[in-house]
Amino acid sequence: MRQQYNDQKSENEGGKEASVDFIRTIVAEDISTNKWNGKVITRFPPEPNGFLHIGHAKSICLNFGIADENKGGRCHLRFDDTNPVTEEDRYVNSIQEDVRWLGWDWGEHLYYASDYFEQMYEYAVQLIENGFAYICDLDASQISEYRGTLKSPGKDSPYRNRSVEENVDLFRRMKEGAFEDGYCVLRAKIDMASPNMNLRDPVMYRILHTEHHRTGSKWSIYPTYDWAHGLEDSIESVTHSICTLEFENHRPLYDWYLDKLEIHHPQQIEFARLELTYTVMSKRKLLQLVDEGHVKGWDDPRIPTICGMRRRGYSPEAIREFCRRIGINKFNSTIDIALLEHCIRDNLNKTSNRVMAVLKPLKVIIDNYPEDEEEWMDAVNNPEDQSAGTRKVPFSKVLYIEQDDFMEDPPKKFYRLGPGREVRLRYAYFVTCTDVVKNDDGKIVELHCSYDPATQGGNAPDGRKVKSTLHWVSASHALRAEVRLYDHLFSKERPEVTAEGEDFRSNLNPKSLQVLSDCMVEPGLKDVRHLTRFQFERLGYFCVDTDTTGDRLIFNRTVTLRDTWAKIKKKGQEK
C-alpha cells in the first residue's frame, strides 16, 4: 500500500481539526468499538467491461485510501466478472494499469468473482434445500409482468412451489448445460408484494452458454450481480463494502442472502457518484462518444477516462488531490471542472519544467543584432524548484514570438509589444518594435525590432522597467511541433440539459480540439519522452503526446495558465 502523502485531517483556521467524511467516521467508530476485531478490509470491484474514469478514481481513492490510512488495513482489487457477454481480458489489464498509475497497490489481493463460482453454486444449493429459492420457467417478459409495478404488488410465479427435490435436480441440470439460454432461471423466494422491487423474487442464476474470459466454457449458468456481489464481499471478509447510492435499495436483498446463509456480513455504505461540469461520466455515454467517433478513442484527452487524462497530461497526484478535495457525501452533486483544473495547475506549477514554445509564430528580425551571431542564454527550469536547475536557450537575429503578443493598435490594457514599444524577451534582451511588415492582404507577417545590448539576460542596468515579458524562440534553432489544444468537450455546463428531442450530443463543443501544426519550440525539446509534462511559459501546461516519434513532435495542452489578460479581453468584447 502506498505511503499516505498527506494526512487526511487538516487544520481549520481556528486550529480546530477538520472532520473527515461520514464513511471514514464510521470506519473510525468501528475500530474504536472493535466491531471487526480492528480489521479494515475494503475493495474496489470493477466489472471488466470498460475503461476506468475519474468517477472510478473517486471510489478507488476512497477504498484504497481508507485501507491505507488504517493500520493493517487492506483494499482488494476484485474483478466482478459475472457476465461473460460483455467482459474481456483487455479491460482487466487496462484497469490494473490505471489503478497502479493512480498510485495504489493491492499487493496479493487481486481477486475475481469467477474464482468463487463453485462456492456460489454451493450456496445456491443450500438456499434451495432450505426452501429459499426455486427454478422458474417463466420467460423474461413474463417475469417482468409478474413482478408488478412500483405502486402495485406482483404475483407469485406458478413455479414458486416446486418441491425442493425438483428444484435441486433442475438446478443441477441447468449447471450441466441441459437447457438452452433463457429456458429457466433460479430465483430467490422472498416476497412478490414487497414495496422494494429488489425483493420480489430476484433472479439468482441465468443460463448463458457463453465463453467466459477466465472460466472458458466451464459454466453454462452465471450468477446475477445481486446474488453474487454480497457473496464476494463476504467470502473475502470485507468489513466495509462501499458502493454508490443506487445500491441502497439492494442492501436489504444482500442482507437477506447473507442472513439466510449465515455467513460473514460486511457493512455496506453508500455514497454519491462523482459528476463534473462540461463532461459526461456514464459508461454508456462515453461508449457512444467513442463509437460514433465524436472523440478518437478511449484515451482521447478530451474525455474523463483515466487513460484519456493520463494522455492529456494529468498527474496521479493531481487526481488524488482532486478526489480528496471533493469530499464524500450521500447526495448528488456536480463538481465544477475548474476545481480539477486548479488541482492540476497547482501540482504542475510546482513540478513541471518551464520551456519556451511559440504556438502561432510571428517572425521578428532584430535589425541591429549581428547576422551570424548566436548566444546561449541562461534560463531557469522551474522557479518553484531550485533543484530543477537551469538550461541554455539560443538567441539570434531572427526570432519568433507569439502573434497574440503584438498589436498594431493596442488597447489601453494591452501591455505587450506594439509599434515603438519596448518589452523584454525573457532571459534575453529588451527589444523595441521599429517596423511592421504586412502582406498584400494587410496581414502582419514580420516585425522589425532593435535590441539594447546593455540589457543582456533581461535586466536593464539603468533600472528602467518594461510592461511585459514575452517568450520567444530562435528561428534557426527552433523545432517544429504540432500542438493540440483542448477545450471542454461540451459547450454546456450540464450536457444532459437539452431541448426537446435532442440529447447530450447536441451540446458537443465543435471547438473542443484545435490542432496547430506550425508551432516552434526550443531545441532542448528534441528527444523528449512520451507523457513528459512541461509548462510552456505564459501559455499553459503541455505534455508529450504518445503519437510523438523521432521526427514528429506532438504536444497536448493539459490546461492553460490562469489568464488574466484573456478575462480582460473577454470583458472588453462583451461591452
Residue 390 engages RNA in binding (rule: CB under 7 A):
no
What's the alpha-carbon Rg for the chain, to the nearest Å?
31
Residue 158 engages RNA in binding (rule: CB under 7 A):
no
Residue 315-354 contact track with RNA, rule CB under 7 A, x = bound: ----------xxxxxxxxxxxx-xx--x--xx--x----x
Residue 416 engages RNA in binding (rule: CB under 7 A):
yes
Q: Tell the smallest beta-carbon distance from residue 257 to RNA (Å).
A: 14
Helix (H) / strand (E) element for 271: namely strand 267-271
Rounded to whole angstroms, the Cα distance separating 538 from 354 reads: 9
- What residues have CB less than 8 Å from 174, skipping those under 6 apart? 135, 184, 186, 205, 207, 220, 221
Q: Tell the smallest beta-carbon distance from residue 349 to RNA (Å).
A: 5
Rounded to whole angstroms, the Cα distance separating 88 from 84 reads: 8
Q: By CB under 7 A, what part of segment 228-287 binds RNA?
A: 229, 245-250, 272
What is the end-to-end Cα distance of the chain in Å, rounded? 55
Q: Tell the smallest beta-carbon distance from residue 498 to RNA (Å).
A: 14
Q: Tell the smallest beta-carbon distance from residue 546 to RNA (Å).
A: 25
Q: Tell the smallest beta-carbon distance from residue 72 to RNA (Å).
A: 25
Nearer to RNA, 97 or 270 (CB): 270
273 is catalytic: yes
Longest dimension (CA), the chain: 102
Nearer to RNA, 224 or 288 (CB): 224
Q: Which of 273, 296, 492, 494 is catalytic?
A: 273
Nearer to RNA, 138 or 398 (CB): 138
Nearer to RNA, 72 or 195 (CB): 195
Contact 253, 198 (CB under 8 A): yes
Rounded to whole angstroms, the Cα distance separating 60 from 57 reads: 5
Rounded to whole angstroms, the Cα distance separating 545 from 530 reads: 6
Rounded to whole angstroms, the Cα distance separating 76 from 47 reads: 14
Q: By CB under 7 A, what part of segment 136-155 binds RNA?
A: 138-140, 143-144, 147-153
Residue 532-561 contact track with RNA, rule CB under 7 A, x = bound: ---x-xx----------------------x
Place of cell 460483455: 86
Residue 459 engages RNA in binding (rule: CB under 7 A):
yes
Q: By CB under 7 A, what part of segment 175-214 binds RNA?
A: 181-182, 184-185, 193-198, 202-203, 206-207
Residue 46-85 contact track with RNA, rule CB under 7 A, x = bound: -x--------------------------------x-xx-x
Q: Tell the smallest beta-carbon distance from residue 197 to RNA (Å).
A: 4
341 is catalytic: no
Letter string b/e over residues 95-111, b meaning 16 or more CB atoms within 10 A of that residue's CB: bbebbebbbbebeeeeb
Of 382, 309, 387, the C-alpha closest to 350 is 382
Q: By CB under 7 A, what part of segment 466-505 binds RNA?
A: 468-469
Rounded to whole angstroms, the Cα distance separating 417 from 401 reads: 10
Rounded to whole angstroms, the Cα distance separating 316 from 318 reads: 5
Q: How many residues bind RNA (CB under 7 A)?
A: 97
Q: Tell the smallest beta-carbon distance from residue 169 to RNA (Å).
A: 19
Q: Give the rounded distance of the alpha carbon of 152 from its chain centre.
A: 41
Of 295, 342, 312, the C-alpha closest to 512 is 295
Q: Which of 47, 88, 384, 482 is catalytic?
A: 47
Nearer to RNA, 67 or 136 (CB): 136
Stretch that binds RNA, among 21-29, 97-105, 233-241, 363-371 (CB under 7 A): 21-29
Rounded to whole angstroms, the Cα distance separating 378 from 387 reads: 15
Residue 112 engages RNA in binding (rule: CB under 7 A):
no
- What residues have CB less than 8 Å from 303, skipping those under 6 apart? 53, 279, 286, 289, 290, 295, 489
Place of cell 493491492: 106
- Left, alpha or beta for 547 (phi > 0: left; psi -120 to 50: alpha)? alpha
496 is catalytic: no
Please pick, from the candidates 457, 511, 546, 572, the single residue that binds RNA as defined by CB under 7 A.
Answer: 457
Stretch that binds RNA, among 12-20, 159-167, 386-394, 475-483 (CB under 7 A): 12-20
Q: Which of 283, 296, 492, 505 is catalytic?
A: 283
Please pick, from the candidates 3, 6, 7, 13, the single residue that binds RNA as defined by CB under 7 A.
Answer: 13
Catalytic residue IDs: 47, 273, 283
